[in-house]
Amino acid sequence: MAESSFRPEVRRVLPAVIAMRFAINVSMRMTYTFLPAFARGAGLSVESMSTVLSARELTALSAPLTGKASDRVGPLTVMAYGGAVAGVGLLLATLGATGLIIGMLIFGFGRTAHQVAMGSWIGNVVAYERRGRATGLIELTWGGSALIGLPLAGLLIDGIAWWTPFAVLGALALLATVRVRAQERGRISEPRQHTRKPHMTKTAVAALATNGCMTAAAQFLFLGHGLWLEDSYGLDTAEIGIAIVAVGAVEVIATAGSSRLTDRLGKRRSMLGGSVLMTTAMMVLAAYSTPPLWLGLLVLVTAFLGFEYGIVSAIPLVSELDPGARAEMVGRAISISTVVRAVVTLVATAIYVSQGFAVLMTVAAGAGLVAIALAAFVMVEPG
């Protein structure tokens, strides 16, 4: 579905939504990729920085409450406020160790509000049969954050200061918020619902569990890959950013592919295929953790490719598990993934420091195998 096939009211707000999503995605990814650089710049240890990121993840436990608010007042309104809060948090993160800690927590709440509301908004304005293509269009910003955002962030860190990317991205998020608010006055009428608890059917439980296991496997890789590239290959901050360009390029391909294949193959099959590809790559890294740089990057790219395809396919599926409580169901999925990411963030660094990257990838592959089993034998496509 090309952008021109959206209704005019949606097309007017879509560029601002994409810009906001891009700023948030770059902000999320850079704190993992450049974790050592941010820790050094703010005067924190790597372990302390990991704790900050874990605490940031826990802010997404607010997702069910955000979902209720989104169902009540409208997803676009909540999305705009979420972008504003995220932007303020990023600007605060420029103010040294204390500012980074407080800013990351505030950013986490804003990111959560934006993510929940965005999933609900897409569900409201796009039919399920075409929702994979619509989601893929917006989620191109995830791969784009690695293709464009992370290299620029690395250059800003090396060329100016560690806090510069936070300032730039915070300003972008606030500008996008102003644009969304301006367009919101002429928005299409969004359906309001009497809020109720989502129906947690067997299908819903299996889908949320699969999504959580995929997230767990990927989080080990997200947290460890920057340390791995620095320790194993001696890359500096800018070189890591440039190396991740390959990851971004493949993720853009994966997201573009998911926008075409997910609706055709089915969301469940796409989640399964993505999990298989991701887990296979992690097994390779577990068995051969210090290959030549080109091969290591190739396997790393393959893992991110599988995750991106699978997780983008999961977004429209989750939004259809209970259309009568769409935003709150999305909120529950995010809350589960949040707890998973927070726990993994705490233990991944300890595993890496004490056991090494190979053991880290072994644990990640184990979580991926659970996701494969759930997707293959338990989860079903929403009716």
Q: Write the pLDDT tens digit of every residue in 184-229.
A: 655 544 445 555 677 777 888 888 999 999 999 999 998 888 788 8
SS3 state at 380: coil
pLDDT digits (tens, 9 = 90+) for 7-19: 666 667 778 888 8
Contact 338, 288 (CB under 8 A): no
In this prediction, residue 58 has a pLDDT band, given cuts at 50, 70 and 90, of confident
Residue 305 has pLDDT above 90, yes or no: no
- Rounded Cα distance between 100 and 43, Å, is 10
Residue 230 has pLDDT above 50, yes or no: yes
Q: pLDDT at position 156, please?
A: 92
Contact 126, 72 (CB under 8 A): no
List, in order of start, the domains of the chain with CATH numbers: 3-184+201-377 (1.20.1250.20)
In this prediction, residue 2 has a pLDDT band, given cuts at 50, 70 and 90, of very low
Mean pLDDT of 48-69: 82
Type of residue numbered 107: F
Minimum mean pLDDT among 198-212, 262-276, 299-313, 323-337: which range? Answer: 323-337
Contact 22, 141 (CB under 8 A): yes
pLDDT digits (tens, 9 = 90+) for 349-367: 889 888 999 999 999 999 9
Q: Which H helix or E strand runs over 220?
A: helix 202-233
Mean pLDDT of 163-190: 79
Residue 279 has pLDDT above 90, yes or no: yes
Q: Which H helix or E strand runs over 8?
A: helix 8-33
| pTM attached to this predicted model | 0.71
